[in-house]
Amino acid sequence: MDRIIIRGGNRLIGEVTISGAKNAALPMMAATLLTEGCSTFRNIPELRDIVTFKTLIEHLGGKVEQEGHTLRIESGTVKMPEAPYELVKTMRASILVLGPLVARMKRARVSLPGGCAIGARPINLHLMGLERMGAKVRIEHGYVDMTAGRLKGADICFDTPTVTGTENLMMAAALAEGVTVLENAAKEPEVVELAMVLNKMGARIDGMGTDTIRIDGVEELRPIVHTVMPDRIEAGTFMIASAMTRGNLLIRNCPLEDLDALVVKLKEAGVEVTPEGDGVRVVGSGQIRSVDIKTSPYPGFPTDLQAQMAAMMSMANGLTVITETVFENRFMHVSELRRMGAKIKIDGRTAIIKGNGRLSGAPVMATDLRASASLVLAGLAADGKTEVSRVYHLDRGYERIEKKLAAVGADIKRVKDAPKARQV
């Protein structure tokens, strides 16, 4: 298993370019299941989750070719509408095949994802919506088994906005008979991007980016060529990294318009954030000011940047209150940050951080994707050596993060553990 070793204290100075968005690329790959023919996607990030989704499409019977950051997917050949436990357990976003499979193949068998490190994460809203559209749902042996005729348009209201739930139903509704209206839909930029991709394929969707999305079903969709938008969470992570290391980073290909909630908080904390060309320059000055944070669905503060902000606020002087409203158990990074000297108390969905201006390097363990990023950031800003183990979490969502950080001055390297000697 790989580990990342960081010697903290270097300022990050220079330019870094943001890769394509994982959470936009995955639903697009799923959308190909609605088409016959070969779609091409450019600016696909090189990540473990993309490889897992590629394996899933191949398992279903599709053909995927990858050349650097370009993926060609032919899903017309899909025969077996089943997503097995082995793939779904490593990546919850596998659930995104459910809507497209049932819409096009009239049948889907997808392993239930189960809980994960950050919460229970049920899929009841995905199932409720597909049932409203006429699918018959059975849950057996840990699998969701769905059958349907041609899905029918329906009015569906989500109790709470769900990103992959909105995406799943938008894809299913694109091929349904009649009009589907999704109320209290997710407004995340990746949902908007998927709607644009589906419209390029021939779907008729409007209202994306608002609470109410209307989908007028069509008979068929066609393959497309599309370039994936930049990853706002990767961009936000580098912005926080620059702030924490008193750095001066030009973050290129940065979707700044999607990061308003972060920019407001960084400025409040005393960080300079200035748009420059296709990106943003982030300059961290002396002392970080503590600012309170409350996560919420877009356009609120993203839960996927909460752990990184917790690391930053551990370096501030003063008290910070972080409230996590999206997931019920997203403070797994806290006990590891404490090992680095952070003073953090958890009370339910709230973390209270008493920043003391510094962190100290320590061996720590990554527990989920964004928690891993927060530990790397803490390591960059801490005194001495930090060793982050279980970095496979990081590889799910950050393309070559240690290389990008080393190129702007971080003392960071990846080491592979020697294989254990066989016991005889």
Which residues are part of the catalytic machinery? 116
Nearest to 245 by CA among 408, 12, 403: 12
Q: Which is nearer to ligand UD1, 18 or 408 (CB)?
A: 18
Rounded to a whole number of angstroms, the minimum distance from the CB of residue 167 to ligand UD1 is 7
Rounded to a whole number of angstroms, the minimum distance from the CB of residue 161 to ligand UD1 is 6
Rounded to a whole number of angstroms, the minimum distance from the CB of residue 162 to ligand UD1 is 3
Nearest to 221 by CA among 244, 257, 258, 194: 194
Looking up tokens 């790959």 gives: 29
Q: Which is nearer to ligand UD1, 22 or 104 (CB)?
A: 22
Rounded CA separation 45/64 (Å):
15
How would you classify residue 270: left for phi > 0, otherwise alpha for psi between -120 and 50, otherwise beta?
left
Q: Which is nearer to ligand UD1, 214 or 349 (CB)?
A: 349
Token pair of 69, please?
Answer: 């950051």
Q: For residue 420, how many other CB atoms are within 10 A of its CB?
A: 6
Helices (H) and strands (E) in the chain, counts: 14, 24
Rounded CA separation 367/369 (Å):
7
Q: Which residues contact ligand UD1 by CB under 6 A?
A: 23, 26, 92-93, 119, 121-126, 160, 162-165, 186, 190, 303-304, 326-327
Token pair of 214, please?
Answer: 């209307």
Rounded CA separation 95/183 (Å):
21
CB distance 315 to 243 below 8 Å = no
Q: Which is nearer to ligand UD1, 47 or 408 (CB)?
A: 47
Rounded to a whole number of angstroms, the minimum distance from the CB of residue 223 to ligand UD1 is 22
Rounded to a whole number of angstroms, the minimum distance from the CB of residue 166 to ligand UD1 is 8
Rounded CA separation 266/243 (Å):
8
Rounded CA separation 319/325 (Å):
19
Rounded to a whole number of angstroms, the minimum distance from the CB of residue 264 to ligand UD1 is 18
- How many Å from the N-terminal Cα to the C-terminal Cα in the chain? 22
CB distance 34 to 76 below 8 Å = no
Identify any residues that bridge with 83 across adjacent strands, giving them in sequence order.
110
Rounded to a whole number of angstroms, the minimum distance from the CB of residue 148 to ligand UD1 is 18
Q: Which is nearer to ligand UD1, 12 or 301 (CB)?
A: 301
Residue 7: strand, helix, or coil = strand
Token pair of 60, please?
Answer: 């279903």
Rounded to a whole number of angstroms, the minimum distance from the CB of residue 21 to ligand UD1 is 9
Rounded CA separation 326/331 (Å):
12
Q: Which is nearer to ligand UD1, 121 or 339 (CB)?
A: 121
Q: How many Å is the maximal CA-CA distance in the chain?
A: 66
Our measurement of the distance from residue 392's CA atom to the centroid of its chain's CA atoms, rounded to an integer in Å, reads 15
Q: Which is nearer to ligand UD1, 160 or 210 (CB)?
A: 160
Q: Which is nearer to ligand UD1, 187 or 246 (CB)?
A: 187
